[in-house]
Amino acid sequence: MSISYKTAVTDQELHQILELQQKNIPTSISEEEKQKEGFVTVHHSFELLKAMNSKCAHIIATSNNNVVGYALSMVKDFKEDIDVLKPMFTKIEANIPSTLKYIVMGQICIDKAFRKKGIFRGMYSKMRDEMKQEYNAIITEVDETNLRSLNAHHAIGFKMLYSYRSKLQNWEILKWDIS
């Protein structure tokens, strides 16, 4: 099984991202699977996903030309477009130096059949390589109940900036210095 890492360029790749996303939102998986495997919080429309990709391409992992993992890139231009992420941007802007050039990793997901194969680390490595000329850091937030995701992020070098509560959810905002 060969895995390739690249930026998303085609509508077909974006549609495959959305298919993988749909399989991993909380309403599509059991409570047990959420605890064991993790989950994604946001469901994007194709139009928003494509607009985000046109500003800064998403990172994908592919096998046999199929998307088996993705890490979404989100520039500040989209801070008002996803309700659940608005508080994150407010916290970031209030708590980091205005000189820090950062990109938000808006969501990361790996197909169940491809987990535990280093794809998480591979996608973040590709993202760092693609972004380090323009950005100093990658910032993301993780639901505190998503222990699999929190542990994976900490394992590759993300550090917690702060935690906060919004709309009955506890979040950790994490930063990875890439410059």
Which CATH number do you get for residue 41?
Answer: 3.40.630.30
Mean pLDDT in each 10-residue stretch from start to end of the chain (179 residues)?
Answer: 94 97 81 76 90 96 97 92 87 91 93 94 97 96 90 96 87 94
Contact 155, 115 (CB under 8 A): no
pLDDT at 37: 77
Domain count, the chain: 1
Query: Containing domain of residue 168, as a range?
Result: 4-177
pLDDT at 65: 93
